Amino acid sequence: MKDKFSILVSGCGSIGMRHLRNLKTLGVENLAVCDPDKASMDASGVRSFDDLSKALKEVKPDIVFICSPTKCHVEQAIKAAEFGAHVFIEKPLSYTLDGTQELENTANKNGVITMVGCNMRFHHGHATIKKLIDAGRIGKVISARIQTGSYLPSWRLKADYRLSYSSDQESGGAVLDCIHEICLALWYFGPAKILHSEVISADSIGIPVDGLAEILLKHDCGVLSSVHLNFIQRDRRRLCQIIGTEGSLYWDWEKGAVDLYGKDGSKEESFLEPPGWDANSMFLLEAEHFLSAVENGVESCFPVSAGIEALKIALEARLSRVGASARRATSDE
């Protein structure tokens, strides 16, 4: 059925173009894009529009991928859901809760299947960790450390990061941009509340947003998880550590393996990435999952309702940057 879908991609930035390429790889032929920037649309190589309402009316898409700047996500997703199109929304769902419940209600009313971008769930490392946790390989989980760190100026070398949505005071910042690790914590261990969070600004790279955050979560199941997010460190690191009553799990993006340590403290097994695995593999699997959910009429693994819960955690964590600013202003006096 994938070749029968009509899909509109709204937003022709780097992630929008990635999804477009992957949809073609998955056999989707009826594709169109929407973006106010003509050069971006021309580069897509498919039918293009500069207005979403016009695109919805003329393309009549079965599915819309929302890959526009964060500030546009909810408004565009509601418009697509009102049209009756199934909606994939890139992360983060939004930068505010405003309109998110309306989006969920509209989708439910119109039988629209939704999914918020969660490509890290489809990474071999994190998917393996989830399977091992669920299989009880390390006993009952006690605590976890999930972290990501990278350098925003190196993300998109052809664009000035200071002019990107990542640098926007309302919708940017490391907490929202790196929300994947929050989503992973909730996926692994379920609902949680913030015990404490601290944020450091991105002054070191010259932008007025949160650049680093430490978030301590207490999950309803009793697990204590520590989430570290930053886009101000020069090197790139993505790590995960899970401590259980019967062992531990370690994953390192650079190493490309999940290591399982058993009761005696020694390494029992390493789960290596399969041959040919690369970073785009998880995006392909993510898109394939969503198309399959639409084709079979079932809920996706990360619908808007789950995206809202992750967003609530992120927004609460961001509030600590207000407190940090106040403390810094007081100390300067």
Q: Give the residue extent of every domain in the chain.
A: 2-112, 120-278+313-327
pLDDT of residue 333: 47
List the end-to-end C-alpha distance of the chain, in Å, as a whole number: 65
Tokens of 268: 């029992």
What is the per-residue pLDDT across 267-315, written as a single tens digit (0 to 9) for each? 999 999 999 999 999 999 999 999 999 999 999 999 999 999 999 999 9
What pLDDT is recorded for position 156? Answer: 83
Architecture of domain 2-112: 3-Layer(aba) Sandwich (3.40)
Q: In the numeric block, which tokens belong to residue 167? A: 């640098």
Q: What percentage of the chain exceeds 90 in pLDDT?
A: 89
Q: Specify whether the CB–CB gap between 59 and 83 falls below 8 A.
A: no
How far apart are the C-alpha atoms of 117 and 153, rounded to whole Å?
Answer: 22
In the predicted model, is pLDDT for residue 155 greater than 50?
Answer: yes
Cα(88)–Cα(63) distance, integer angstroms: 8
Can you tell me the distance from the alpha carbon of 314 to that of 98, in angstroms, rounded to the nearest whole number?
14
Strands (DSSP E) along 202-307, which ranges?
210-219, 224-230, 232-244, 248-252, 257-261, 267-272
pTM score, whole prediction: 0.93
322: tokens are 């207000």
Return the higher-pLDDT residue of 58 and 158: 58
What value does the mean pLDDT of the chain take? 94
| Bond before 92 cis per omega within 30 degrees | yes
Level-2 CATH architecture, domain 120-278+313-327: 2-Layer Sandwich (3.30)
**Torsion sign across C-alpha atoms 84, 63, 171, 226:** positive
How sure is the predictor about 109, in pLDDT bands with cuts at 50, 70 and 90? very high
**Least confidently predicted of 1-10, 110-119, 181-190:** 1-10
Whether the per-residue pLDDT at 160 is higher than 80: the answer is yes
Q: How far apart are CA 171 and CA 93, in angstroms?
A: 11
Quote the DSSP letter at residue 72.
Answer: G
Give the per-residue pLDDT at 39.
82
Mean pLDDT, range 30-49, rounded to an integer: 90
Q: Which residues pair with 257 in a beta bridge?
A: 252, 272
Q: Mean pLDDT over residues 117-142, rounded?
A: 98
pLDDT of residue 326: 41
pLDDT higher than 60, residue 91: yes
pLDDT at 330: 40
DSSP 120-136: GGGSHHHHHHHHHHHTT
Ranges 100-114, 127-141, 154-168: which has the least confidence? 154-168
